[in-house]
Structure 1
Amino acid sequence: MRKAYSLTAALVLFSTGASAADRVPVIELQMDNGSANQSAITRSSGQFGGGTDTLMLLQQLQDEVRALRGMVEQQQYQIRQMEQQQRDRYRDLDRRIAVGQNSQAPQDGSAESALAPAASAPLPLPAADSTPTDSQAYQEAFGLVRQKDFPAALAAFDKFIELYPESARLPNAYYWVGEVNLAEQKLELAKAAFEKVLQTFPEHRKAADASYKLGVIYHQMGDQAKANEMFNSTISRYPDSSAANLARDYLKR
């Protein structure tokens, strides 16, 4: 194209007798052509630049989708863990209720076996103008635990603790306040109840269970160092208890 423009200009010059100074149109044609080429290059570059931006945006969106998918999977895993922990708590509570129902009353009369001989047997009702004995009040509160009427059970145990501060069943009442609150995931209230058993009644047979449960609570609170301390304390202080065996199993996880 550049040769064609020059040849045309030369013919014009020859036919008109133009001087050498009139060769400017040839230069203008070449510059115009160069400008057109430059414009085409600019437009082409803009098109390619826009394509690159689109690819970068698409890549960014894909990265964000992958990140969100990872977050969802992590939350689903945490939910499954929480559901499993909830099932484990209720299974453990059911097991302990069953033990309380089937155990024989010890000599000090302090265990859950102060319950009626059969779970379905009605408890004798006190006279309208009499105060129930501590055994009757305890049986009523523990019966509410068996029925899983936890709010009513907590109220009944709180009333028992208020009315019978000298009862031999007092450690058991505090212990079951802790168990019910733990089943309801009221960790601070459960912790306070188990600490009361451990600190006030360290020689009671429920102290070993309370010590183990404190380890479980600290684990659920995320304080693994304190949890391990409580599990090891349970093993060293109550080595022959079932709670010590549970603590050993927990430490192996």
Structure 2
Amino acid sequence: MTARNALLGLAMAALTVQAAQASSIPVVSAGRSSAPTTGAAIAPAPVVNPNVNTAVVTPVSTDSGVEQPAVLLNQLGALQREVMELRGLVEEQGNAIDRILKENRDRYLDLDRRISQLSGSAESASGTSMSAVPKNTAVSSSAGNISPDVAQAAAKKAGDVLYHDTFQLIRDRKFPEAVAGLKTYIERYPSGTYVDNAQYWLGEVYLAQGNLKTAKEAFALLLEKYPFSDKRADATYKLGQVYDRQGDRVKAKEYLQKAIKDFAGSSAARLADVYLRNLEG
């Protein structure tokens, strides 16, 4: 009877083991919580040797988002340095341009001063040569057998000589003689080659003498009487100067602006521009 019971116990134990192996319910170890896994093999936990000192290595992120701010900061610093360098260059060039403009203005003013001095010299030279110029310099076509063409050529040559001699008086600053020579040329050779130039230099001589009223009349007469003269730009600019010296700044600006506008690109326009800036500034 005892043996029989033992055999039955063994059989029941064997059936219990088989049933447990066939069951899908996982066996959970005490003290550990894990999600149930159906049909999946559970990998054995690695065996750690307590005698071996192992260091935990934290992986370094290679995400570009971490490196990007540093790159942008470097680029920003480089751009700031370049901007500062460019600003320095611009300031240097600006200073150089201002210096060149100032030098050019000074040269224009100096040139104008020299021209005025030369005009004064020419006037004085004219008076000296006038004593050597015969009163009847113009050649009459009715004299003897001289043909009209020859007489005209001789008259032109005599007029040219008179003008050049008078201009030399201006250079020598012999103003009274120069005034006499210019007036003589204008009276004797109203159609002469240099008649408009003579009228202009007459104004210059008066201006050099300080005779502002007569100088203004001479320049104004040039603009009125010789509309195609090459000296119109200079006469317009000089009228601006005369009005300024007379204290009429409104008229002075009017003529200076007219010289700049009507004779753009000429030396008189550039001188008028410089004079106008000094007048306004």
> CA-to-partner distance for each residue in 1:144-184, whole Å, 9 max, x for gaps?
10111000000111111110111121110000100000000
Alpha carbons of structure 1 residues 93 and 211: separation in structure 2 relative to 1, 3 Å: same
Question: After superposition, where does 1:45-194 map in structure 2 within 5 Å?
Answer: 91-94=114-117, 131=138, 133-194=158-219
Structure 1 residue 188: Cα displacement: 0.8
> CA-to-partner distance for each residue in 1:17-52, whole Å, 9 max, x for gaps?
xxxxxxxxxxxxxxxxxxxxxxxxxxxxxxxxxxxx
Structure 1 residue 97: Cα displacement: 8.5
Over the matched positions of the two proteins, sequence identity in percent amounts to: 36
Instruction: Give the aligned residue type for 1:233.
Output: K
Structure 2 residue 263 is the aligned partner of structure 1 residue 238: yes
Runs of 4+ in 1 over 4 A off after TM superposition: 87-90, 95-98, 125-130
Distance in 1 between residues matched to 2:112 and 2:135, nearest whole Å: 38
Determine which of 253, 272, 280 is the counterpart of 1:247: 272
Q: Is the 8 A contact 2:118 2:171 kept in 1?
A: no
**Number of residues of Structure 1 aligned to a counterpart in Structure 2:** 143
> CA-to-partner distance for each residue in 1:91-122, whole Å, 9 max, x for gaps?
34236799x9xxxxxxxxxxxxxxxxxxxxx9
TM-score for the superposition, normalised by structure 1:
0.51
Question: After superposition, where does 1:30-45 map in structure 2 within 5 Å?
Answer: none
Structure 1 residue 250: Cα displacement: 1.0
Distance in 1 between residues matched to 2:252 and 2:214, nearest whole Å: 17
Supply the RMSD in Å over aligned alpha carbons: 2.9
Alpha carbons of structure 1 residues 181 and 88: separation in structure 2 relative to 1, 3 Å: farther
Instruction: Give the aligned residue type for 1:164.
Output: Y
Q: Is the 8 A contact 1:89 1:183 kept in 2?
A: no
TM-score for the superposition, normalised by structure 2:
0.46
Instruction: Give the aligned residue type for 2:235.
Output: A
Question: Residue 241 of structure 2: SS of its match in structure 1?
Answer: helix
Q: Work out which of the two has the higher radius of gyration on C-alpha atoms and give 1 or 2.
A: 2
Distance in 1 between residues matched to 2:162 and 2:196, nearest whole Å: 14
Distance in 2 between residues matched to 1:145 and 1:95, nearest whole Å: 6
Alpha carbons of structure 1 residues 251 and 162: separation in structure 2 relative to 1, 3 Å: same
Structure 1 residue 140: Cα displacement: 1.4
| Higher RCO (CA < 8 A, seq sep 6+) | 2
Structure 2 residue 229 is the aligned partner of structure 1 residue 224: no
Instruction: Give the aligned residue type for 2:189.
Output: Y
Distance in 1 between residues matched to 2:191 and 2:245, nearest whole Å: 33
User: More deviation in 136-145 or 89-98?
Assistant: 89-98
Q: 5+ residue gaps in structure 2?
A: 1-109, 123-128, 139-154
Instruction: Give the aligned residue type for 2:276.
Output: L
> CA-to-partner distance for each residue in 1:62-100, whole Å, 9 max, x for gaps?
xxxxxxxxxxxxxxxxxxxxxxxxx997534236799x9
Q: Is the 8 A contact 2:163 2:198 kept in 1?
A: yes
Q: Is the 8 A contact 1:198 1:207 kept in 2?
A: yes
Distance in 1 between residues matched to 2:200 and 2:165, nearest whole Å: 16
Structure 1 residue 238: Cα displacement: 0.3
Instruction: Give the aligned residue type for 1:206.
Output: K
